[in-house]
Chains A and B, each alone.
Chain A
Amino acid sequence: MDELMTTNDRVQYIVIKVGGEQYGIDIKYIDNIVRMQHITRVPKVQSYLKGVINLRGEVIPVMSIRGKMGYEEVENTKDTRIIIIKLEQHGTVGVIVDEVKEVVTLSEDDVEHFTYDAKQEEKNMYLQGVGKYNEQLISLLELNAVLSEKDL
């Protein structure tokens, strides 16, 4: 029972790097992490949608988190990864990130959730809160907002 309690308020996050900043994605939404591969461009779609890839026989759409969050697009490096995310609302979607660093476990006490007012600010739109880990700050992504449709 004790163990159950601890797992309940401790959440594992995968820490990724985008434009020098650290972001955390709740591990329960992550299906897979794959290396950069050939992306087939799809015409006439939002600019942050990069196209589709073949993931073991399935066609999966891929988006750039840089494009979506307003960072400048950069050339892919050897560290570039596609994180395959499964969300009920959007299905399976690949998200391109600069680098995948590590997996951290944060307890509820380490996380400061944003209030509704804080979310109104542009830079906080895609975040659910900030986590503290070993003196570092990790912005925790609100995936539904990250994946939601936005005309650019």
Chain B
Amino acid sequence: MDVSQYLEIFLDESKEHLQNLNTQILELEKDSENMDTINEIFRAAHSLKGMAGTMGYKRMQNLTHDMENVFSEVRNNNIKVNSEIIDVVFQCLDALDEYISNIQSSADEGENENTAIIERLNAILNGKSGGGEAPKEEAAAAEEAPKAEAPEAAAKAPSVNLKLAEEQVHVLSEAMKQGKKIYFFDVKVQDSCILKAARAFLVFKAVEELGEIAVSDPSAQDIEDERFDTNFTLVIISDADLDKIQTAITSVSEIEKAEGKLLSEADLTGGTAEAAEAEAEAPAEEAPKETKSAATTAPAPAKAAAPAKDEKKAGKPVVNRTVRVDIEKLDVLMNLVSELIIAKNSLVSAAGQDHSQTSSFNEQIEYLESVTTNLHESVMKVRMVPIESVVNKFPRMIRDLSKKLDKKMELYMSGEETELDRTVVDEIGDPLMHLLRNSADHGLESAEVRKQRGKPEVGSIFLDAYQDGNNVVIEVRDDGNGIDVEAVKNKAIERGTITVEQAATMSDKEIIDLLFLPSFSTAKQITDVSGRGVGLDVVKSKIESLSGEVEVKSKLGEGSTWTIRLPLTLAIIQALMVCIGDEKYAISLGSIQTIEDVKASEIKYVQAKEVINLRGVVIPLIRLSEVLDAPTNKTKDDDMVVVIVKKGDKLAGLVVDELIGQQEIVIKSLGKYINKCKVISGATILGDGEVALIVDANACF
């Protein structure tokens, strides 16, 4: 079977399983007796093994297999979970992660056998049995699997609902006469399984190695086309034992259960002989009667089968109503929406120039406007994904850091469901990881110091995400030492970043902001966690490349809070259009606080810089015509239009010539050829086809 078409699903699913394993094992570390967690781990490991096997990734399968064995023993209470096991399992997960990334980049799992981990896993297994017998892998598989599945299967023998045509009965009876055994199997695929047909195919393949499939319901063709619910039944002619077949079936991953039964001659001819058992399982009202009469009068057993099947269908949970879409397709859609908005803008501006049209024309334009805005919003929402996928890996990371740094710490997360544009979510992982490492390494004190300071021994790191207007805010907070402003100051002077005189006049906040300069690390010793001097400046530039901003607040002895603020979307924004001379510029509405008319006489000077006093707040003035080298029509004595913009809690007033109005604009990149200008973050195409530049208010500060 060609499996390459399933590669993407395989990657997606195995990542999900790995993430799940990571989370569950962290759980297990806290509560080593929790049976639910152990079961969940076992299930995830089992599925992962099956998937790797199906796709032909032998090394990955072997490793997962050994891990699964360990958990199988844990589940049977033969091994107690201890920190050693947890460590090995985490190593194992890392190795699996490596396999998966190899597969992702080259469709090949790589050469690393990870024998060391496998040996340690086996050592754990042998440790419990006491003896030196190393379980042969394949043999172990055969043994563990039934042990795990058997109790379930044994609890309920399947009710045999056979629909046999006469010639089939004949074939089966013939086989029986030749001394072969006839089995009936009811196989259930997990509800969550995506590749039901592929799983069924594997079951068929497994069974055919041991015997012959005489009948399947639904038919083999239907199963191949995935025209079945979650169950299918098989009648198998074989020499092998019931257990052996059952093992073969259940070792296919994502098979929830396989209930098997040896059929007698009576079963073949009389349909359901075991009325009692059927009664237990069949729907309450009609089925028992049916089956009973079936047993006595032996008519076609098809009737009994039908209601039982319907019942199961009704009880099936609603399928998750989602589709996986390639992000590139969404990009195309988003581009088309952008084009549409530009076309709409042209129409609006054309309508504005022509005064002869009727009011119904205007109405239609307004209608079009509202449709395009809604369309844009919907497309944007489709592109939104929860940040969960990124932050999920952090608890594990903090756990590892905690061991590595020998500090006690706990990560508390909230708002994982907060949604951001997919492109932003993909990029945000590294900066967040950096901040968390930073908090763990520099922020939190060692347990002894914390005790002396009267803090709880275990340090806390918080990761909170929430939506705030058109932005998403992500906060990384710790209750550690906070930033030592003096230390930063001294370091900066030592490095020559600032002079002693400058240092004296700088506020604490300004000094803390020095941390974001390239090559600035205050860690007294370089660890491999952080402190290589390539830290916060990278975080800052990454966040800024996403049109976001990062800020830090800190109190010495009490901890620090890093706040990242990101726009919900990158492609289309609401902007204020302004004029400077003949040139038009756009300023993102998100960064604008207010717009003020200011008289020239109100300008004051602080350190020879122009400021205004706006309702008690002193705000520096920035003349955009100077920043942008744009010729202005105004003189210094004219009254000014000032756009007050904010960056964090700093304000600045941008002086413009005139306001044009608010407009929805599509952001286009200037491309890599023109990228020297820091104040310009992009360009947009106006309704009349002209290009207007977008002023990055953040870069003006």
Contact = CB atoms under 8 A, between A and B. Distances in A.
B679 A44 contact: yes
Contacts of A40: 583, 683, 690-693
Q: Is the interface of B mostly helix, strand, loop or mixed?
A: loop
Given A40-B690, A43-B629, A90-B672, A57 B677 contact: no
A31 to B, nearest CB: 14
A34 interface: no
Contacts of B690: 38, 40, 54
B410 to A, nearest CB: 48
A43 B673 contact: no
Interface in B663-701: 668-674, 676-680, 683, 685, 689-693
B680 A42 contact: yes
Interface residues of A, number: 24
A147 interface: yes
B671 A92 contact: yes
A52 interface: yes
Contact of B691 (A44, A54, A92): A54
A45 B668 CA distance: 18
A93 B676 CA distance: 15
Given A43-B679, A45-B674, A91-B671, A57 B339 contact: yes
Given A40-B692, A43-B630, A52 B670 contact: yes
A57 B683 CA distance: 11
A42 B692 contact: no
A150 to B, nearest CB: 12
A59 interface: yes
Contacts of B672: 90-91
Q: Is the interface of A mostly helix, strand, loop or mixed?
A: strand
A117 interface: no
A25 interface: no
A42 B683 CA distance: 10
Contacts of B689: 54
A47 to B, nearest CB: 11
Contacts of B627: 43
A37 to B, nearest CB: 9
A65 interface: no
Nearest to A41: B583
Given A57-B685, A59-B691, A42 B630 contact: no
B663 to A, nearest CB: 16
A59 B630 contact: no
A61 interface: yes
A63 B680 CA distance: 18
Contacts of B678: 44
Nearest to B684: A59
A60 interface: yes
Given A42-B693, A147-B673, A59 B628 contact: no
A103 B342 CA distance: 36
A49 interface: yes
Nearest to A50: B674
Contact of A59 (B583, B671, B676): B671
Contact of A46 (B342, B671, B676, B683): B676
Contacts of B680: 42-43
B691 A53 contact: yes
A45 B677 contact: yes
A49 B677 CA distance: 12
A90 B690 CA distance: 23
A52 B674 contact: yes
Contact of B342 (A52, A57, A63): A57
Nearest to A60: B671
Interface in B412-442: none
A90 B693 contact: no
A143 to B, nearest CB: 13
Contact of A93 (B630, B673, B692): B673
A135 interface: no
Which of B627, B672, B679, B691 lies at the interface centre, i.e. has the most chain A CB atoms within 10 A of its CB?
A: B691
15 contacts: A43-B628, A43-B677, A43-B679, A44-B676, A45-B677, A49-B673, A51-B691, A52-B683, A53-B691, A59-B669, A61-B673, A63-B673, A91-B672, A93-B673, A147-B673
Given A42-B680, A44-B676, A45-B674, 10 more contacts: A38-B690, A42-B677, A43-B677, A44-B629, A49-B673, A52-B670, A54-B689, A54-B690, A60-B671, A90-B673
Interface of B: 339, 342, 583, 627-630, 668-674, 676-680, 683, 685, 689-693
Sorted nearest first, the 6 A-B pairs with minimum C-beta distance are: A40-B691, A59-B668, A44-B677, A43-B628, A61-B674, A61-B673
